Amino acid sequence: MGILDKIKSVFIVPEDSQGSANTVAASSTTTTSQDKQDTSVSMNSENRQKFYELLSGILEKNNLPGYDYLEYKKALQSVAKLANMDEANVYRTVFAAAQAMNVDAAHLMSTASSYLSVLETEQAKFHQAADKFLADQVQNKSSDIKSTQQKLDDSKQQLETLHREIEELEKNLAILTSDLSQVQAKIAANKADFNSNYVSFVDEIKKDIQKMKQYLQ
């Protein structure tokens, strides 16, 4: 695994873990502040473990032949766990065993310095890879942000246009409804006026007919 892939493994949730993450998120609809803090601490602890394993692996990969600082360090850790003695005696006890293998303090310190150089080189690689990864993310996200913002602006413009069209249609509908009401009222009034005059004419003619029968026969 390259250093950039290692960085991604620390900062990015793998694709095959997204489903589990979504399931967990869906199963809990409410999250307290304490829950969020616990999650943050857990994630930081997980990251620290990943970096510890990363750096430990690098040291092991660059382990020099023979007994040197790394072997001395492992022995220190073992003795410190097993023996009930102070730090100075732990260092001296393990060093006594190293001397039996013709290893002196100068060799231990020089190889320790070599491993420091290895870690410093790896740190430079890590920061370079992290910066590149960040730059790529910024570029990709910036492009996505720009595209999404443009879509949002377009949608807002379409929505504004649609609102104006709706307002115009509502105005036209109100006008048409008013016009129809006026036409209906006018027709009703005309029918009433017509019927009133019709009745008057009919009554007048019928009266004339009666009078003609009466006076002319």
Number of domains the chain contains: 1
CB atoms within 10 A of CB 11: 13
Structural domain of 74? 3-15+42-151
Structure tokens at 185: 């009222």
The CA distance from 70 to 17, in Å, is 35
In a domain, 144, yes or no: yes
Q: What is the pLDDT of residue 4?
A: 42
What DSSP designation does 22 have?
H
DSSP code string of 26-44 = HH-S---HHHHHHHHHHHH
Q: Is 75 part of any domain?
A: yes
Report if residue 212 sits inside a domain: no
- The structure tokens 């869906």 sit at 26
Residue 189 lies in a domain: no
**pLDDT at position 27, please?**
35
pLDDT at 84: 82
> Does 35 fall in a domain?
no
Residue 34 pLDDT:
52
158 neighbors 35 (Cβ within 8 angstroms): no
Long-range CB contacts (within 8 A, 24+) of 105-112: 107/68, 108/68, 108/69, 108/72, 109/69, 111/64, 111/68, 111/69, 111/70, 112/69
Domain annotation covers residue 177: no
> What integer pLDDT is reported at residue 120 of this predicted model?
94
User: Which pLDDT value is given to residue 48?
Assistant: 86
In a domain, 33, yes or no: no
Instruction: Output the tens digit of pLDDT for each of the chain's 217 residues.
Output: 444 454 444 333 333 433 333 332 333 333 444 554 554 445 578 888 888 888 888 889 988 899 999 999 999 989 988 868 889 999 999 999 999 999 999 999 999 999 999 999 999 998 999 899 889 888 888 989 999 999 999 999 999 999 999 999 999 999 999 999 999 999 999 999 999 999 999 999 999 899 999 999 7
User: What are all long-range contacts of 83-86, with beta carbons under 8 Å and residues at least 24 apart?
Assistant: none
* Residue 174 belongs to a domain: no
Tokens for 71?
Answer: 């072997």
